[in-house]
Amino acid sequence: MIPVEHYIALSAVLFTIGGIGFLVRRNMILLLVSIEVMLNAVNLALVAFNRARPETHTGQMLSFFLIAAEAAELAIGLAIVLAVYRIKKTVRVDDANLLRH
């Protein structure tokens, strides 16, 4: 049996990798991937805490809701990326200034 601390350490590493990827990258698609990595790290932590307290399924239920929110976020994010790409012909964040007047 793997201790919960190992799962939490892995979750922290994944969240850090996602955060660094979000701060360093300039490609919109890679930013979305970095956000997904961070949200999956949160899912891992929720399921790990649920494993430590198995009498309730709160961690698993929250994880399922978070997965649904991730799917909606990804669909909306990709729609925005496609709209920006059609107009600007690039997916770089620095070139996406469509909302400025």
Domain chopping of the chain, boundaries: 4-90
At 99 the pLDDT is 62
* Type of residue numbered 71: A
> Rounded distance, CA 37 to CA 101, Å?
33
Nearest to 70 by CA among 17, 34, 20, 45: 34
According to the CATH classification, is domain 4-90 in 1.10.1370.10? no
Contacts 24+ apart (CB under 8 A), 67-70: 67/43, 69/39, 70/36, 70/39, 70/40
At 70 the pLDDT is 92
pLDDT (tens place) for every residue of the chain, 101 residues total = 889 999 999 999 999 999 999 999 989 999 999 999 999 999 999 999 998 888 888 889 999 999 999 999 999 999 988 988 888 888 888 877 766 65
